[in-house]
Structure 1
Amino acid sequence: MHLFSPIFLASIYAAASTAAASPLLGQRDSPSNETSTTYNTPVSQYNFNDAGYTYCQANYPSSKSYSPLPNASLEMVQVVVRHGDRTSYTVLPNENETWTCDGVEEDTYLHETDKPPRNTTGSFKQVIEIPKWNSKYGFSNKVWAGSCDIGELTDIGKSQHRKLGGQLRDIYVRKTHFLPPTLTDTSSVYFRTTHIWRTKNSGESLLGSLYPGRNTDSNDAIPMHTYPESIETMYENTAACPKLNSYVSQIYGSATFQQFLKDQGPLMSRISGILGVSGSVWTASWSGYVDALLPRKCHAKPLPCRSVNGTKTDDCITEDDVKQAMRNGSFEWTYKFRDHPLSGEYMRLAIGSFLATLRDQIHDHVSGAAKAPKFSLYSAHDSTVATILGALKASNADMLWPPYASNMLFELWKKNDGNHVVRIIYNGHILQLQDGFKWCDLSSCPLDKFNKYLEALIPTDVAAQCAI
């Protein structure tokens, strides 16, 4: 989750002041046929089936059930992932938990631009160190005890992407022979990540299992591409696109969303009282509650209890509280990213430039205009995955908050008749679309139809259209 930038919070404040798992390639039932979990809102279409859902771990694609497209050959794979398990961004008042990230260290070394490149510094490990006196001398509630920074990838998160990389190797190397067993040409793999550690480390873990055994010679290094934070396109970047603030304000200030906040107000008040938090960010959105509670639940840490004068009481957050907070988060993001009247325009400016990147890569390959990589990995955030799902009009079941290590595979196939089709696999199954918006069968979507749909989501002049 890319949480709590000052500009994003300003938008939420403005809105508040205005009013306030299936087997791989299996077809999911449409939401209307699912056993529904009813949300306490007046909006009938928000009946999500969250049976079997867990925020803590996405499903992996499986080589056992993976089926190549009949009468076609695979030509390109683009993978968009959410980072793995991480620590929370929220350090609570009276925090007494310990988080350990000792196994997640970044090995680095520098080299000059000589040919051949040579290591000029030796290797270094960058390690987060939390001082033992964290709870004293005025630094209490700034960060917890242990060795983890806020929002840092944990050992579990690293392991999740190592397993995902192994699954992808089983599919694309061992089963389909689409990728070679040994990476001899690093230009055949493209790796892009946001500038944040957890996405870098997640991508490194995944590629380390997709292509294990590589050495540290700089000639064998897979380039890790990043955009400067100020112009990042893999998440809703309000700093680069100020117009997004206006849309957020209108979406969160809408009558439907404000009614939702009112309906869920008693639970919000209960949880915020126990957490000991206050302020507009805790009354205008459920995102902070997802961040505060779910990382703790995923690590089986005790759920927070109310503290009175520094003494813990028996008034604690329950499993049901966490489950409903998670449902409310899914409701919020689905309404924002897919169903508000402004969602389409919001998606165009929030994720359209990144969708253009995916489209252009495919175009370069098909047209032969430039050499395109066979395999591309984009390591990003839950908001990245959620905005893409919203833009594609994913079904209610697939709009549930993207779990850790969520994975979206865009496969380009060439049929025997010469036509290209796109297949999208999300967390181990064909991505399903919302009732009434089934614009294509994503088990085999004709490329021209796919491109036509994307065109409406891609801004023609993002700088001009993002200006206020």
Structure 2
Amino acid sequence: MRSLTAGLMLGASSSVLALSPLDTFYPPGINQTSYISNSSNALYGGIYKAPTNGPTGGHPYGVYDYCSMPHPRSQEYKMPGPVANGSVKADLVYLEYLQRHQRRSPYNILPGGENQAYECDNVRPYVYAGPNSNSGIQPVPVYAQTYEDSSNPFSPGVNGTCQYPQITVGGVQDGFQHGKDLWQVYGKKLRLIPRKPNQRVWFRSSESSLTQASAGAVLRGVWPDYDGALPLHQMVSSVDTVNEGYSCNAIGTTLNQIKSTAEWQGHLSVTSDLRAKLGAMLGATSSSWQSTFDHFSDNFQARLCNGYELPCSVSNSSACVTMDMAAEVFRAGDWEWNYYWRANPYVAKYIQVVEGLFIGEIISHLENVLNGRSSLDYSHVFVHDGDIGPVLGALGINALRWPAMASNIAFEVWETKEHSSKSFYARVLYSGQPVQTIHGSLDWIKLTDLIAILRPFVPKDIKSLCG
């Protein structure tokens, strides 16, 4: 297994190696299809490899790391500029923290079959329920253990002990470290997160076991000695405002419009040879594999981020995906995510129909702080890349690479007091660093200005918009 440093350097040109950690988040040419086809871009300074066991940390810390994105950490955390230079005195009074789940096994198993077994018997996905009273039945903490039976005539296409997807042991370990680091910054340093959970903290996830398992690992890192249970709030899946839970015809029709543009067709044109090679090698010739790079990226990322190698054909062990091929797949995935949420001509509507209601919830939380009505200090929401992407798009991020495992957005609200009056300012961090946007760096802006940036992406009548 190559080291993480080698994983960073693999296939990279000297110009890419000179990138700062922040630079790796913002490829300047990502809007052009030449970003995909230019092999000298390689991995654009990113990390795409990790061992089976974590936690991973990237090197240097803060670089774009698909396997486990950086997050606020005490060693690197800096106070907002005006606070750091002493021009204002301010206290952190609210944190809205969003994060994608930790690393996992793939969603997409190769149609031609997988040449490696996936093993997950080193992690226990617990699945049990109990009453909300200590006087009731206390269930046995059972966990899922995947197995195969020789009498079953059907095959999932891959041997092993994993569900697809499920959080891996490295994902659990990454989550625990993630939570420990959040405590060091927002608990110990800034004294916002309480020593024990109280009524002013609130947690939410999607209905997915991935986000739920990540929540358990992260929150254990925040409170390693807490011996109680915590509510993880979820909406009914059919009306959930994250992970595209509610039914909305406009999501599909808008996506079809996006994929009908000349730019989208252009990116398929420049990658036609690559897609044909991968399709023939891996049996992945259906439209679901050939119309976007979602499936190839997902499969390759899950392998590399959990200590596995890139795939080979099950019928020809010498026909294997190379790192150069994978790097082009990853660049194409970056291009697609940037196009979905930043560059396409229908982007405002697309964000509204996919994520507008959730963005409205964030605004509501921020307005409650602004108006002195907030009952919370710390809100932590565990979601998916498909939620992180549109929120970053609404913020106007300058360039959007695929929001990787454990990608996170921290909405910090700071209160200043001058001459007996108080004002509220905001800072928005993406994976631990002030997000760079078309509105400038969101290191220190009026809270009202942040709300104004987000508000256009909240639909006035989502039912009419969805049809």
Q: Is the 8 A contact 2:97 2:379 kept in 1?
A: yes
Residues 426 and 445 in structure 2, CA contact (< 8 A), matched pair in contact too: yes
Aligned to 1:326: 330
Note the C-alpha offset of 1:99: 2.1
Alignment of 1:411-450 (within 5 A): 411-417=412-418, 418-433=422-437, 438-450=438-450
Aligned partners of 2:205 and 2:382 also within 8 Å: yes
**What amino acid is aligned across from residue 213 of structure 1 in structure 2?**
D
Instruction: State the TM-score, normalized to the length of structure 1.
Output: 0.83
Distance 2:287 2:354 in 1: 23
Aligned to 1:128: 145
The reply on whether 1:339 has 2:343 as its aligned counterpart is: yes
Could you list the per-position Cα deviations for residues 162-191 of structure 1 after superposition, in whole angstroms to 9, with x for gaps in the alignment?
Answer: 1110000001111122222233x2x22111
Aligned in 2, Cα 1:221/1:22: closer, same or farther, shift over 3 Å? farther
> In the aligned structure 1, how far is the partner of 2:24 from the partner of 2:120?
37
Q: 1:29 to 1:211 in 2, by over 3 A?
A: closer
CA offsets per residue over residues 264-285 of structure 1, 9 Å max, x none?
A: 1000111111111221112211
Write out aligned runs for 1:252-331 (5 A): 252-307=259-314, 311-331=315-335
Distance 2:344 2:436 in 1: 20
SS in 2 for 1:419: strand
Aligned to 2:66: 55
Task: Establish whether residue 144 from structure 1 lines up as the match of residue 158 from structure 2.
Answer: yes
Q: Return the offset for 1:432.
A: 0.8
| Aligned AA (2:114) | E
**CA distance, structure 1, for counterparts of residue 126 and residue 73 of structure 2:** 29
Instruction: Identify the residue that residue 8 of structure 1 maps to in structure 2.
Output: none
> Could you tell me the TM-score, scaled by structure 2's length?
0.83
Distance in 1 between residues matched to 2:146 and 2:27, nearest whole Å: 47
Within the candidate set 213, 226, 236, 2:234 is matched to 226
Read off the aligned partner of 2:98 and give its amino acid letter. V
Tell me the CA shift for residue 29 of structure 1: 9.7
Secondary structure in 1 matching 2:457: coil
- Determine if contact 1:303/1:317 at 8 Å carries over to the other structure: yes
Unmatched 5+ stretches in structure 1: 1-20
Distance (Å, rounded) in 1 between the aligned partners of 2:113 and 2:449:
55
Equivalent position of 1:390 in the other structure: 393
Cα 1:91–1:412 change in 2 (3 A) is same
> What's the CA shift for 1:87?
0.5
Counterpart amino acid of residue 365 in structure 1: V
1:83 aligns with 2:78: no
How far residue 302 of structure 1 moved from its aligned partner, in angstroms, is 2.8
> Deviation digits for residues 33-79 of structure 1, max 9, x if unmatched?
99x9952469xxxx898213332121132212323341111010011
Q: Name 2:200's counterpart in structure 1.
A: 188
Partner of 2:358: 354
Structure 1 residue 382, shift from structure 2 partner: 1.2
Amino acid at match of 1:55: Y
**Among 71, 75, 78, which residue is 1:64 paired with?**
75
Match 1:111 to one of 110, 115, 131 = 131
Deviates more, 1:194-203 or 1:296-305: 296-305
Residues 29, 124 of structure 1: alpha-carbon distance in 2 compared, 3 angstrom cutoff: closer
- Indicate if the aligned counterparts of 1:22 and 1:428 stay in contact, CA closer than 8 A: no
| DSSP 3-state at the match of 2:131 | coil
Tell me which amino acid in the other structure corresponds to 1:226: Q
Asked whether 1:200 is paired with 2:212, we answer yes
Q: 2 CA distance for matches of 1:96 and 1:199?
A: 28
1:39 aligns with 2:35: yes
Unaligned runs of 5+ in 2: 1-18, 47-63, 84-88
Q: Kindly indicate whether residue 112 of structure 2 is the aligned counterpart of residue 98 of structure 1.
A: no
Q: Secondary structure at the match of 1:420?
A: strand
Residues 22 and 28 of structure 1 are in contact (CA less than 8 Å); yes or no, is this contact kept in structure 2? yes
CA deviations on 1:226-279 (whole Å, 9 max, x unpaired) are 112211212344x52111111100101111111110111000111111111221
Q: SS at 1:423's partner residue?
A: strand
- Matched-pair contact (CA < 8 Å) for 1:333–1:401: yes
User: Residue 27 of structure 2 contacts residue 44 of structure 2 at CA under 8 Å; is this kept in 1?
Assistant: no
User: Cα gap change, 1:127/1:432 in structure 2, threshold over 3 Å: closer, same or farther?
Assistant: same
1:404 aligns with 2:415: no
1:165 equivalenced with 2:173 (yes/no): no
Contact 2:115/2:312 (CA < 8 Å) preserved in 1?
Answer: no
Inter-partner Cα distance in structure 1 for 2:207 and 2:70: 26
| CA–CA separation in structure 1 for the residues paired with 2:106 and 2:43 | 26
Output the CA distance in 1 between the equivalents of 2:114 and 2:45.
32
Q: CA deviation at 1:445?
A: 1.5
Paired residues of 1:27 and 1:429 also in contact (CA < 8 A): no
Residues 189, 222 of structure 1: 8 Å contact kept: no
Tell whether the 8 Å contact from 2:434 to 2:441 is kept in structure 1 after alignment.
no
Higher relative contact order (CA 8 A, sep 6+): 1
Amino acid at match of 2:91: S
Structure 2 equivalent of residue 462 of structure 1: 462
Measured in 2, the distance between the counterparts of 1:452 and 1:279 equals 43
Note closer, same or farther for the CA distance 1:145–1:118 as it changes in structure 2 (3 Å cut).
farther
The letter for the 1-side match of 2:235 is: Y
**Alpha-carbon distance, 1:143 to partner:** 5.1
**Equivalence for 2:225:** 213
| Partner AA of 1:206 in structure 2 | V
Match of 1:373 among 365, 371, 376: 376
Partner of 2:188: 174
- Give the partner amino acid of 1:463: K
Q: Report if aligned partners of 1:22, 1:429 keep a CA contact under 8 Å in 2.
A: no
- Work out the CA distance in 2 between the residues paired with 1:444 and 1:177: 20
Q: How does 1:5-44 map to 2 (within 5 A)?
A: 32=28, 38-40=34-36
- Alpha-carbon distance in 1 for matches of 2:107, 2:292: 15
Check conservation: 1:38, 1:48, Cα contact below 8 A. Answer: no
Instruction: Using the aligned pairs only, state the percent identity.
Output: 25
Once the 2 structures are TM-superposed, how far is the Cα of residue 132 of structure 1 from its aligned partner? 4.4
